[in-house]
Chain A
Amino acid sequence: MRITSLILCLPLMLASCSHLPEIRPAENVAADRDAQCRAIFPTGRWQLVHSIEMLPPAGSKQTVMGVVQLSSEKRTFHCVLMTIEGLVLFEADFNGAVTIERALPPLDMPGMADGIARDISLIFLAPEEPCAEAGFLKDGGWVCRHPSADGGDEDIVVQPDGRWEIGCYDKNRRLTRSVAPLAKEDVHAGGWPSRVMLKAYGLGGYELRMSLIEADYLGK
Chain B
Amino acid sequence: MATMRINLRKIQWLALIAALSCIGWADSWDQLKTTAGAITSVQADFVQEKHMPILTKPLVSKGVFYYQAPRAVRWEYQWPVQSIVAMYNGNVRRFVAAGGQGFTEESGGGLQAMQVVMEEITHWLAGRFDDNPMFQVRLEPGRCIVLVPKEEAFQKVIQRIVLNLGQQPGVIRSVVIYESENAFTQLTFSHTVLNARIEDDLFKKIP
Contact = CB atoms under 8 A, between A and B. Distances in A.
| Interface SS of chain B | mixed
B98 A105 contact: no
Interface string A63-88: 10101010000000010101111111
A213 B2 CA distance: 31
Listed residue (B1, B98, B183) with the most chain A CB atoms within 10 angstroms of its CB: B98
Interface string B96-131: 101110001111111000000000000000000000
B98 A53 contact: yes
B50 A84 contact: no
Interface string B56-71: 1101010000000000
Interface residues of B, number: 37
B108 A59 contact: yes
Contacts of A122: none
Interface in A9-56: 47, 49, 51, 53
Contact of A61 (B1, B12, B104): B104
A133 interface: no
Given A47-B56, A49-B59, A86-B48, A59 B104 contact: no
B56 A61 contact: no
A84 B61 contact: yes
Interface in B149-166: 157-158
| Interface SS of chain A | strand
Contacts of A49: 59
Given A104-B8, A104-B157, A105-B1, A216 B56 contact: yes
Listed residue (A65, A86, A105, A195) with the most chain B CB atoms within 10 angstroms of its CB: A86
Contact of A67 (B13, B55, B105): B55
B16 interface: yes
B45 interface: no
- Report, nearest first, the 5 A-B pairs whose CB atoms are least far apart: A86-B185, A211-B99, A63-B96, A60-B108, A87-B12
